[in-house]
Amino acid sequence: MSRIRKTLAKLASPNPLSFYLLFLMLGILSLFYYFGELVDFAGWESLRWEFFYSVHDVHRLLFLIPIIYAAYVFGIKATIIIAIISLIIFLPRALFVSTYPDALARMLIFILISGAIGYLIAILCRGRQGTRP
């Protein structure tokens, strides 16, 4: 049990492992976000599930995980950086792929709200540590 606690404590502090975990999460979520397009590109007809071809609001919601993790572990600057990286990941789909109305507006609203959530979490975590943001 103490080994699990040590690992969790290590993941909750800013170190190279946390940094790599954050970008691993972004990479996996990016593949998931564009999985429908990857299936079409590769021609894998058996993997054409309707879930990957609908509005990507649920897919975008999963990007809250790395944004909140960055806020908890690394603070405000990392939260803003991860939110901007998420914006860059979302832009091609919103501009060139999506056939649904207001794809760009939905994406921007999500980025603003998730960035605000991450910012507030970073402030709360800093306040708990007794330092000012």
Q: What is the pTM of this model?
A: 0.82
The per-residue pLDDT for range 16-53, each reduced to its tens digit, is 888 999 999 999 999 988 887 778 777 777 666 665 66
The per-residue pLDDT for range 42-89, each reduced to its tens digit, is 777 766 666 566 667 788 889 999 999 999 999 999 999 999 999 999
Which residues, including other chains, have CB under 8 Å from residue 97's CB and lie 6 or more apart? Answer: 37
Domain count for the chain: 1
What range does the domain containing 108 cover? 2-129
pLDDT at position 12 is 75
C-alpha span between 69 and 21 (Å, rounded): 10
Q: Is 114 exposed, middle or buried (0-12, 13-18, 19+ CB in 10 A)?
A: buried
- Of the chain, the end-to-end C-alpha distance in Å amounts to 34
